[in-house]
Amino acid sequence: MKSSRFLLPLLALALAAPAWAQAPAAPKSQADATWEALSPLAAPYVAQLHAAGVEKVNARTGRAGRDIQVLTRWGPAYFGWPKGVTPAEFTLSVDGPSTIDLAAPKFTPALRPNYKTAFDAVLPQARKAADQARLNATRPKAG
């Protein structure tokens, strides 16, 4: 009888342990939510940007017509926000032909359409800017 009094609480503890061991799922961070919302919008452009030598696109505001900074293998390029596009600040790092890192600190789900419009306007122009930077860097020097 003594051993059964000891075994019952031990058995109850052993059966409950797996439930205690399962930690609740961590809530999504703002960065994860931003990634999930915006990465599909940028994905169609990644391979072209990588092929053109784009390493990073910084889309920001307040830089007097040089709000978009494109860092390429051949140096930086700058241009302003395309006409009719509401500025949506983001940083897109191109790590490979299908790999990016994306940050947009001011993103909210309500602004997703603005980001889509911004990506559709800025990212093709960033590829063109990288093409021009490559031409400038590889052009024979006069002299």
Measured distance CA(56)–CA(73) in Å, rounded:
10
Q: Residue 64: which pLDDT band, with cuts at 50, 70 and 90?
A: confident
Q: In which band, very low, low, confident or very high, does the pLDDT at 63 lie, cut at 50, 70 and 90?
A: confident
Model confidence at 105, pLDDT cuts 50, 70, 90, reads very high
Task: Tell me, yes or no, if the pTM score tops 0.75.
Answer: yes
Q: How far apart are CA 4 and CA 57, in angstroms?
A: 69
Helix axes 30-51, 112-138, angle to 10 degrees: 30
| 28 pLDDT above the threshold of 70 | no
Tokens of 9: 């609480």
Half-sphere exposure of 32 (CA within 13 A, CB side): 4
Distance, CA of 56 to CA of 54 (rounded, Å):
6
